[in-house]
Chains A and B, each alone.
Chain A
Amino acid sequence: MKILVCITHVPDTTSKIAFMNSDTELNKAGLTFVIGPYDDYALARAVEIKEAQGGTVTALNVGLAETEPTLRKALAIGADDAIRIDADPTDAYFVATQIADIARKNGYDAIFMGRESSDYNGGQVHGMVGEMLGMPSFSPVMKVEIEGTKVTLAREIEGGKEYIEASFPLVLGCQEPIAEWKIPNMRGIMSARTKPLQVIAPVSQENLTSGGHYELPPARSGCKFIDASEAEKLIDLLKNEAKVL
């Protein structure tokens, strides 16, 4: 089993987001960058599958040199090698094009990634890659079990889940509880330093969308407190003041 796991390099989920250069750029000062939380689940499940069945896990990121520590972490968690496509990941279509190109060249049985990145939240790259490669794509996947050539998936839908029978090759957008996150151990961290990390130039792809300036959500005007002894007053306020009932 040859698995490609695509990871994003995103601010830690506890980060406070701020912008600079007249709100055109994320202010990265003080931010800790991590493997995207959903991608972390995808990676953990891919490593489990490799450990159970043999094979290889390749971690891939589309990003500039600053993302290499994140790729090294993926190697420490259990990926065998890593590929960095040396480009700014400007939009989902651009990123999907790069992943599809590598997949065509190297041939994988499965491509795993998170259901969405936690920065732009588009949740589109897995589907685009699937379509570009003519492979089925599924997301958000919360369970994947493999028995010979048969793959059973659980996909979360509104109000529940659906179980799907599919076969390789395929593309999965993953989410919890597909696996437990893996914390790299000392041996993993040491071996990650010497595992191969290939840097590859991007293939050309015009951006179909372009990002303009950012805005922060308007601050709330403050919390109006209601005494617990007269809690029912809240209903009147919601109806007549906030007008949401």
Chain B
Amino acid sequence: MAILVFVETADGELRGSSLEAVGYGAALAQQLGVQASAIVLGTNLSQDKLAKIGNYGITRVLQIADDRLNQGVIQAYSNALGQVVSAQGITTVVLAKSSLGDAVAARLTVKMQAGLASNVTELPLSVAGGVFKLKRSVFTGKAFQITEVKTANKILALKKNAFAPVPSSDSATVEQISVSLSEADFGAKIIKTDKVTGELLLPDADKVVSGGRGLKGPENWGVILDLAKALEAATGCSKPVSDLDWRPHHEHVGQTGVKVSPNLYVAVGISGAIQHLAGVSSSKCIVVINKDADAPFFKAADYGIVGDAFEILPKLTKALQAL
């Protein structure tokens, strides 16, 4: 029995959500009394950065240093991981839910004949007899379910904030491994990537500031961006805002958009339709700022301010800068 944590990179850095998965994998290994390793595909990261995975609890890092894996080609990734899993005797794969992680995990499930639990929100409630009892988020954040995974091989796809690692100064040793990939594995070609760089990614963020139609137009987003910058938060928006093209689709938070579970979620000018609430309900602390004292969102909030966002937000930004 052994655990493998799949680690993703973004802009030449380790992804925050993957580091949570590393911490989770290390804690799970301890719970089970087994070894854990982490794996990184491609050569996007320097060896120093790979060694930093050790800070989060796993000191054995495997790398497949094949430049073709610098792009997240789904089939190549799943075939590479399938080979690593059998060569290394891996029984449990842990990863953070993401656009790449989900796509790869699904294919890996078939290769491993593994039971897969998605949107896992904490360490197993029990691992007795090799059966994992896992709490996971269902009905788009409206409920949780305890799922049992009884198969010998298991895959756990984690929801953001399933684990809060405490970084140490431990460093990881990086081992190079190789797998055999064919041209067919790279048959689907990524021809172009349009991606913001240097911005905090919404699914990785510990804090999120979202704006809704109450901001009246895309030209008024400055107050949101300023507050997000002062908070070191990612920016999100409601569905109408993304439908109106005021903000890009990848910022849409809610039932049919990105589901977030940050420590702090600040909603500005968003009334709080049930579909939006579903996407944010597992946030630790929710702040709602709205002109309308009857906005349903206040019922789901921890802190509320009734008033004009264009007056309130600059005050908050200033107070944060003074900290």
Contacts and interface: CB of A to CB of B under 8 A. Distances in A.
Contact of B138 (A121, A156, A166): A121
Given A131-B107, A166-B187, A231-B307, A155 B75 contact: no
Nearest to B283: A244
A118 B312 CA distance: 35
B81 to A, nearest CB: 12
Contacts of A140: 99
Interface in A135-192: 136-140, 142, 152, 155-167, 173, 175-177
B201 A159 contact: yes
A243 to B, nearest CB: 9
Interface residues on B, range: 35 or more
B74 A137 contact: yes
A42 interface: no
A156 to B, nearest CB: 6
B176 interface: no
Interface in A34-82: 37-38
B109 A128 contact: yes
Contact of B305 (A142, A208, A216, A226): A226
Given A209-B148, A228-B305, A139 B299 contact: no
B146 A212 contact: yes
A72 to B, nearest CB: 23
A159 B306 contact: no
B110 A128 contact: yes
Given A156-B99, A160-B193, A162-B193, A212 B187 contact: no
B224 to A, nearest CB: 15
Contact of A14 (B110, B143, B275): B275
A234 B274 contact: no
B316 A208 contact: no
A225 B304 contact: yes
Given A131-B106, A158-B203, A123 B118 contact: yes
A244 B303 contact: no
B196 A212 contact: no
Contacts of B315: 231-232
B124 to A, nearest CB: 13
B143 A17 contact: yes
B100 interface: yes
A119 interface: yes
A37 B250 CA distance: 17
Interface stretch (B33-41, B162-170, B214-222, B285-293): B285-293
Contacts of A30: none
B74 A136 contact: yes
A210 B248 CA distance: 38
Nearest to B189: A165
B12 to A, nearest CB: 14
A122 B311 contact: no
Given A13-B274, A209-B149, A158 B106 contact: no
A13 to B, nearest CB: 5
B246 interface: no
A142 B250 CA distance: 11
Contacts of A38: 256
A39 to B, nearest CB: 11
A157 B196 CA distance: 11
Interface core residue of A11, A14, A132 (most chain B CB under 10 Å): A14
A17 B137 CA distance: 13
Contacts of A139: 99, 102-103
12 contacts: A93-B110, A121-B138, A123-B102, A123-B106, A127-B107, A138-B74, A162-B71, A166-B187, A215-B144, A225-B306, A228-B306, A244-B284
Interface of B: 10, 71-72, 74-75, 78, 97-100, 102-107, 109-111, 113-119, 133, 135, 137-151, 157, 187-197, 199, 201-204, 207, 231, 248-250, 255-256, 259, 263-264, 273-275, 278, 281-282, 284-288, 298-308, 311-312, 315-316, 318-320, 323
